[in-house]
Amino acid sequence: MEPPSYEEASRQPPGQSTDGLTLSSPLPPAYSISLTSPSTPPPSYGETVGVTPALRSTQAQMVAVVSQPQPVPISVQYLKDKPGLVRCIHCHCLVTSKVKYKPGLTAWCVCVLLALMGLICGFCLIPLMMQRMQDACHYCPRCRKLLYTYRR
């Protein structure tokens, strides 16, 4: 059986199906009630909380103090090639270490290796000038004593 055409389907009453049986689902309710806006505006925050004008002046004078947690110093053994917040083992002050770079074992080994490969015209000295090949020596900025040496 073929479905009815559009004209045939539009001639039938809305509560019946095409075979003449009534549909079991009810029609949706009519929404003729319109929503109206309230006649008065909502109360202000002060009215809701119950703040009196005398309390408003004292509340305006209050100041909120926010404190951030203090930075935690790291152990001297965890220093790498960047400055770090440490407690000096000599003067016991909380300081950010000062880093100086010095050629270490890695730089000298690469220098000798390049010289053995035939790069003698100053090219073998390049590792001695590269910061990534040098050891990082951490010093205390207050007492100027060596804290730790990070070896590469």
Encode pLDDT of 55-100 as tens digits. 555 555 667 777 888 777 777 778 888 888 888 888 988 899 999 9
Burial of 86 (0-12, 13-18, 19+ CB in 10 A): buried
Q: For position 141, what pLDDT does the model report? A: 92
Q: For position 59, what pLDDT does the model report? A: 54
pLDDT in tens, 1-51: 778 777 777 777 665 555 555 555 667 766 666 666 667 777 887 777 765
As a whole number of angstroms, the distance between CA 61 and CA 71 comes to: 31
Q: For position 140, what pLDDT does the model report? A: 92
pLDDT in tens, 118-131: 877 788 888 888 88
Kindly state the DSSP code that residue 123 receives in the 8-state scheme.
Answer: G
How much is the pTM? 0.51
Q: For position 98, what pLDDT does the model report? A: 92
Q: For position 76, what pLDDT does the model report? A: 76
Question: Residue 81: helix, strand or coil by DSSP?
Answer: coil
Number of other CB atoms surrounding residue 6 within 10 Å = 8
Q: Are 91 and 140 in contact (CB under 8 A)?
A: yes
